[in-house]
Amino acid sequence: MGKLRQIIGFLASAVAALAVMSCVGDVDTPGAPALVTAPGGVLPTEERVIGDGTVTIAMLLPLSAGGSASGLAQSFQNAAELALEDANQDNIRILVLDTAGETDRARGAAEAAVANGAQLILGPVFAPAVAGAGQAARAASVPVIAFSTDASVTGRGVYLLSFLPRQDASRIVRYAGDQGIASFAGLVPDNGYGLVMEAAFREAVASAGGRVSAVERYQPGAIAAGVSALAAGGAFEALFVPNGGDDPAVAAAALRGLGNNARLLGSGQWDNAAVLGAPSLVGAWFPGPQKGGFGAFAGRYQSRFNQEPPRTASLVYDATLLANGLVGARGPGAFRPAALEVRDGFIGVDGIFRLTSDGLSQRGLAVYEITGDGTARVVSPAPTTFDRSF
């Protein structure tokens, strides 16, 4: 036995429940010390403390980065506050520290967190800050659950609880393969995101037993030319266009204009009005979390803070409830790898998820088909349980 099964996050009610088969032995519960500075360098200043539980964790956010980054940081702080309001009781107190989105500041913030007894770090958000914080946290054997999508900054004890590009590619290609599609082409932007998605796409097609006929990279505004080059290069049954915005509709229109009826495949970036309302994309498929959970969360967030949350705010909400629930179930020793990497995973706002030993996360995603009336219908529901293997 001895295995944590699930932490159920808030979906349509304000309840966070924890199912446990048995718990690890308790250790002494630390107090709530005043903020101190760690040795070596100027450290960020604590902005606030959220919660009044007995176990200290930290949240590292780009509060002073300016622009949209600071706005995102505030929304993440709000999401953590909402999570503890929805929990049955506060088992944790969260020290909120500023990273400014920078490597050195994040390293200093992590050092300050450790010096103040933090047993877990949530955040940072941006990859350079995750790299800096991860170095300091790993040296102190304090795990990190960050919100970047850059898998290069993961490692032992540094996890990403994010919507990762490779999951989108794997889910949509696997579904297409199950429908009999065997030959694929890809059309990716010529930037860092495009390179990541191209690699994930090629890996997914190989895993599904399919064949990649060609991949074209395109500059902004030149996606139609990429379609022409692909169409001239040979036949394919499906075209993968992961970028969001107007690109999928332009690509689909260009493809149809050439008389090519290949199925369009997308990513989680497709869940927006520009894509869902495009006539050229009717019948296209894309992956995403099962609907419902985020809507309920967003409604509570809107009511509490009088603004809509960014899509990624649910990640912080889930991470906060996860930390709070693990402490409630297992006590101050809650954040050992065996608890964080439980194979059955957890249930959160966006469905099931689990953290893996390589620092990545896995999610249960649905597949949607664009209907032509500004919406999409589920053609393959999100799984409700994980298989036992990673």
pLDDT 10s digits, 236-274 = 999 999 999 999 999 999 999 999 999 999 999 999 999
- pLDDT for 219 equals 96
165: left (phi over 0), alpha (psi -120 to 50) or beta: alpha
Superfamily, domain 165-288+366-380: Response regulator (3.40.50.2300)
Please give the order of strands across the beta sheet that includes 144-146: 46-50, 92-98, 55-61, 121-122, 144-146, 158-160
Which tokens belong to 208?
């599904």
pLDDT of residue 47: 61
pTM of the model: 0.86
Name residue, tokens 């993968």.
240
> Residue 55 corresponds to which tokens in the numbers above?
């176990």
Q: Which helix (H) or strand (E) holds 282?
A: none
Q: What one-letter code names the amino acid at 55?
A: V
Q: Does domain 4-163+293-359 have CATH number 3.30.499.10?
A: no
The confidence score (pLDDT) of residue 176 equals 98
Mean pLDDT by 10 residues, the chain (390 residues): 36 32 29 43 60 96 95 97 96 97 96 96 97 96 96 93 94 97 98 95 97 96 96 94 96 96 97 94 96 94 97 97 96 89 95 95 97 95 78
* Residues ≥6 apart with Cβ < 8 Å to 81: 50
- With residue 179 as reference, give the H or E element that holds it: none
The pLDDT, as a whole number, for residue 261 is 95
Q: Which of 163, 160, 231, 236 is nearest to 193 (CA)?
A: 163
- Residue 212 Cα to chain centre, angstroms: 27
Task: Give the per-residue pLDDT at 242.
Answer: 97
Indicate if 165-288+366-380 has the same CATH topology as 4-163+293-359: yes
pLDDT of residue 387: 79
Tokens of 130: 């995750």
Q: Is 178 exposed, middle or buried (0-12, 13-18, 19+ CB in 10 A)?
A: exposed
Identify whether the C-beta of residue 133 lies closer than 8 Å to the C-beta of residue 107: yes
| Domain ranges, ordered by start, for the chain | 4-163+293-359, 165-288+366-380
By three-state DSSP, how is residue 227 classified? Answer: helix
- List helix spans (H) across the chain: 67-86, 103-115, 127-139, 165-178, 192-207, 223-233, 247-257, 273-276, 293-305, 313-330, 337-340
Q: Which helix (H) or strand (E) holds 386?
A: none
Please give the pLDDT value at position 38: 47
Among residues 214, 190, 200, 148, which one has the least CA distance to residue 169?
200
Dihedral sign for Cα atoms in the order 157, 132, 125, 110: positive
User: What is the Cβ-side half-sphere exposure of residue 75, based on CA atoms within 13 angstroms?
Assistant: 21
Q: What counts of helices (H) and strands (E) characterise the chain?
A: 11, 18
The two tokens of residue 164 are: 């990762």
Quote the pLDDT of residue 39. 43
